[in-house]
Structure 1
Amino acid sequence: MTTDTLVMPTDTAPSHARSPRVRQLLVDSGYALLSFPLGIAGFVLAVTGIALGVGTLVIWVGVAVLAVTLLAARGLAGIERAQLPAVLGRPLPRPAYLRPDGGRVRRMLTPLRDPQSWLDVLHAVLRFPLAVLAFSVTVAFWALALGGLSYGLWDWALPQGDNEDLFELLGFEGGSLLRVTGYTLIGLVGALVLPFAVRAVAVLQASLGRVLLTSRAATQAEIGRLSRGRDAAVAAEAVALRRLERDIHDGPQQHLVRLGMDLSRAQRQLDRDPAAARTTLAEAGVLAREALEELRALSRGIAPPVLADRGLAAALAALAARSPVPVELAVDLPEGRLAPVTENTAYFVVSEALANVAKHSGAGVCRVEVARAGDALRVVVEDDGIGGAQLVPGHGLAGLADRLRAVDGVLTVESPRGGPTRTTAELPWG
């Protein structure tokens, strides 16, 4: 038997490796070159506009001048934000500016009330020296690299008279061969240093833009995320309380009402019919036990004692044992306890998912997998039922999604018609 071996060309891998570096060098160079005229325009606009606006505030013309200056700085800041992802290599958030509202005067004052507009102006002022530095370094190193490497092609065109080149000034003698060789070596060194020098000044300038033009947007996004998490937590708790109230009303409360009526009847029967009273008391005892079992079941759905005492794996094992649908349980967790909020949320996810399977899926078997996936705890509940489950607002799965969103978790449901249904929850490891 023969074996064919595929041999790749030796220059293929290096070309693929070099391509991103060359692309990044061109991006950084274009950014530095374009930033120079934009930096000059922004600096002149900011300094002139602010000075003129402040100087004419006493006659109210300065308000309009400042507003126009801030809007122009916002436009230049938008151009900068569009370039930052390519230079820094990652997407960056965009801030939300205040929207004009109210009358004409109030709309004109909107830019002056927006903190991000003033940060745009500050960026236009502070960017100017960095733009000059980046432009100078980029042009100097490109000229050094290209001029040195190509020196041998145009050395003949230079006048050779009383002029002395660099090597002659340093005391070296060797004629044109020395010049060509020396300048070519200098160009080679410049070409090797070029990507690092251009990258350094580009990142320096882009970092200033990231801090002044996107950091507030990141803060706004984090505040929005926390606000959504808070709203999700409130919604989840409200749904849980309504369900608990309904379950108590439909179960233990009815049994306790019946229990009270039976005890009253037994009390009336004690004197005239002791045998009937004993029968009534026996029925009351059954009702009391049923009410106690239902209360225990409700408490297990919230946070069972075994979860607090023995951890998530033991609690899930007990939960699977009580499920009316056979459950295959696979728990792969390291030794040691997780954070209480993580354990409670994971238990709640499995409890709700198994309850949905028992009530709606018509499944014959269910599989539960709990394991660590990177920095997250992944919980998967899959059944072989009829499918068709959806995240509909106001229903169990939507409440489950809100519960997970409150702890920065994510719920996904895959449930085509005809099944199977796969519910996956990921929540932060802790």
Structure 2
Amino acid sequence: MTTTHAGAAPTRSPAGKLRQLGIDTQYVLLGFPIALVTLVLGLTGFAVGVSTAVIWIGLPLLAGTLMMSRGFAMAERARISPVLGRRIPQPIYRNSRGKGAFRRLVGPFTDGQYWLDLLHGVFRLVPNVLGFCFVLTWWAGTLSGLTWWLWGWTIPQGPNDQDLPGLLGLGSTYLNRSLFYLAMGVFFAGTLFWVVRWSALLEAKFAQGLLIGAYELRRQVTDAEEARDLARQQKAAAVSAEAVALRKLERDIHDGPQQRLVRLAMDLGRAEQKFADDPEHARALVAEALTQTRETLDELRALSRGIAPPILVDRGLQAALTALAGRCTVPVDLDAPPLERLDPGVESTAYFVVAEALTNVAKHSHANEVQVSVQRIATGLIVTVSDDGVGGASLAKGHGLAGLDDRVRAAGGVLAVDSREGEGTRLTAALPL
């Protein structure tokens, strides 16, 4: 496995280091003649183009120089990818196609990336010469030092060397020279990878800064703006979902339990008045009040399903969905394997998705069966509710699922509905973890 850190050598196996050494060496050595070509062509084209721009001849020449710089820059981005160990994106240049000839001609002048490409082509020789000298010196020192014993004997010896007997009949000066070259070769070989690596990174980082630095900065700004817009949308969706839930709860309480409690109070008051004169009638009123109490409790339990139940908090999502499926008037096939405890917001949203979906199935779908599935994937939670009813559900405003869509988006998720007329409904919520 390879891990690369900016500005440092990657952690590699010996074979990986040898491969990277070859990549870095060819990058630096081949970059030297390319840098000479881009320097000459860039400076010549720019100087001639600017000096003749007053008579309009220089504009096409200057535009051609910028286009040439773009071509060299695209090739350089491909060359630095294996050096940096990551894919280098090609920036998006301003498109002048389909416009007039003059606008196509001056189009490169208005795109800052063209000028950065030209700047790199002119000044890339500065870091390349430095790296080229180091790489050439270290390779020469390594090869000459480690192979001295193969070719050093071919160098003629001086008269003093032949007068001094030494090992194997050779002069002692030759032996000392051999040891010196061997030590030099070991030193250069031991530091070769690091010197070549840093030389290649010096040139590659210079190219990265000019050729993709501005593009990556713009992309980071764009990503930050998109994240900000998404956060605003989630906040608006959360506010909308909360407002809809509060209005619905208020309306349901006003239309249901509140009216029953008013009638209950009136019945109990009438019963109190009748106890002395008409006990039988009073007992009937009390019995009716008890019936009203039970119905009010049933309605309050139904309304409390819109609030996270204690079983969800205490025992988790699987137990809460099991209880929810057991109360549904339509048979439910529940597929919810045991899950570790998730973020409370995710569990609550998943519960409300299933609760609202089962409520809609019971009220509107005329379905014979409903299937509920909860799956944990690497990036989140997938909740699916499907039935064999009449279909026709929609996420559009004014429909029953619009508030549920707001709740899911507020949690950072996505809600999708497939509900063709007569073919049932399939509701899928993807919630991030």
Instruction: Give the TM-score, by structure 2 length.
Output: 0.62
Does residue 174 of the first structure (1) align with residue 172 of the second (2)?
yes
Unaligned runs of 5+ in 2: 1-11, 162-170, 265-272, 274-281, 324-335, 359-369, 388-393, 396-400, 416-427
The residue type equivalent to 2:31 in the other structure is S
Matches within 5 A, 1:285-304: none
Paired-residue identity, % = 29
**Would you say the 8 A contact 1:315–1:347 is kept in 2?**
no
**Would you say the 8 A contact 1:54–1:62 is kept in 2?**
yes
The residue type equivalent to 1:203 in the other structure is L
Cα deviation, 1:27-48, whole Å, max 9, x if unaligned, reads: 1101101111111122222222
The residue type equivalent to 1:154 in the other structure is W
**Would you say the 8 A contact 2:376–2:382 is kept in 1?**
yes
The residue type equivalent to 1:356 in the other structure is V
2:56 to 50, 54, 60: 60
Q: CA deviation at 1:189?
A: 1.8
SS in 1 for 2:149: helix
Cα deviation, 1:116-140, whole Å, max 9, x if unaligned, reads: 2222222223311111121221112
Q: Distance in 2 between matches of 1:120 and 1:286?
A: 80
Cα deviation, 1:251-287, whole Å, max 9, x if unaligned, reads: 6436646899999999xxxxxxx99xx9999999999
| Counterpart for residue 86 of structure 2 | 90
SS in 1 for 2:322: coil
**Would you say the 8 A contact 1:134–1:202 is kept in 2?**
yes
2:148 to 137, 142, 151: 151
Judged with a 3 Å threshold, the aligned counterparts in structure 2 of structure 1 residues 405 and 178 are, in CA distance, closer, same or farther, namely farther
Does residue 130 of the first structure (1) align with residue 137 of the second (2)?
no
Q: CA deviation at 1:233?
A: 3.7
Q: CA deviation at 1:157?
A: 3.4
1:30 to 10, 23, 26: 26
Does residue 100 of the first structure (1) align with residue 96 of the second (2)?
yes
The residue type equivalent to 1:25 in the other structure is L
Judged with a 3 Å threshold, the aligned counterparts in structure 2 of structure 1 residues 191 and 329 are, in CA distance, closer, same or farther, namely closer
| Counterpart for residue 425 of structure 1 | 432
**Would you say the 8 A contact 1:263–1:280 is kept in 2?**
no
Unaligned runs of 5+ in 1: 1-15, 165-172, 267-273, 307-313, 333-345, 388-392, 412-420
2:75 to 67, 71, 79: 79
**Would you say the 8 A contact 1:134–1:205 is kept in 2?**
yes
SS in 2 for 1:81: helix
Judged with a 3 Å threshold, the aligned counterparts in structure 2 of structure 1 residues 67 and 260 are, in CA distance, closer, same or farther, namely farther
Q: Distance in 1 between matches of 2:58 and 2:71?
A: 20
**Would you say the 8 A contact 1:27–1:86 is kept in 2?**
yes
The residue type equivalent to 2:209 in the other structure is V
Q: Distance in 2 between matches of 1:403 and 1:162?
A: 92
1:186 to 179, 184, 187: 184
Matches within 5 A, 1:16-415: 17-101=13-97, 102-160=99-157, 174-236=172-234, 252-253=250-251, 256=254, 316-317=313-314, 323=320, 325-326=322-323, 330-331=340-341, 346-358=343-355, 359=357, 362-363=371-372, 403=410
The residue type equivalent to 1:199 in the other structure is R
Judged with a 3 Å threshold, the aligned counterparts in structure 2 of structure 1 residues 19 and 352 are, in CA distance, closer, same or farther, namely same
Cα deviation, 1:194-237, whole Å, max 9, x if unaligned, reads: 11211121111111122222222222222232233344345545
Higher alpha-carbon deviation: 321-330 or 110-119: 321-330
Q: Which has the larger radius of gyration?
A: 2
**Would you say the 8 A contact 2:350–2:383 is kept in 1?**
no
**Would you say the 8 A contact 1:77–1:213 is kept in 2?**
yes
Judged with a 3 Å threshold, the aligned counterparts in structure 2 of structure 1 residues 324 and 93 are, in CA distance, closer, same or farther, namely same
SS in 1 for 2:96: coil
**Would you say the 8 A contact 2:96–2:107 is kept in 1?**
yes
Q: Distance in 1 between matches of 2:116 and 2:298?
A: 67
Q: Distance in 1 between matches of 2:183 and 2:292?
A: 102
The residue type equivalent to 2:132 in the other structure is F
SS in 1 for 2:432: strand
Q: CA deviation at 1:82?
A: 1.1
**Would you say the 8 A contact 1:120–1:213 is kept in 2?**
yes
Q: Distance in 2 between matches of 1:152 and 1:400?
A: 79
The residue type equivalent to 1:201 in the other structure is S
| Counterpart for residue 271 of structure 1 | none
The residue type equivalent to 2:135 in the other structure is T
Q: Distance in 1 between matches of 2:411 and 2:38?
A: 46
SS in 1 for 2:42: helix
Judged with a 3 Å threshold, the aligned counterparts in structure 2 of structure 1 residues 184 and 223 are, in CA distance, closer, same or farther, namely same
Judged with a 3 Å threshold, the aligned counterparts in structure 2 of structure 1 residues 145 and 60 are, in CA distance, closer, same or farther, namely same
Q: CA deviation at 1:83?
A: 2.1
**Would you say the 8 A contact 1:265–1:280 is kept in 2?**
no
Judged with a 3 Å threshold, the aligned counterparts in structure 2 of structure 1 residues 147 and 399 are, in CA distance, closer, same or farther, namely farther
Q: Distance in 1 between matches of 2:57 and 2:301?
A: 78
Q: CA deviation at 1:244?
A: 5.5
Q: Distance in 2 between matches of 1:33 and 1:262?
A: 90
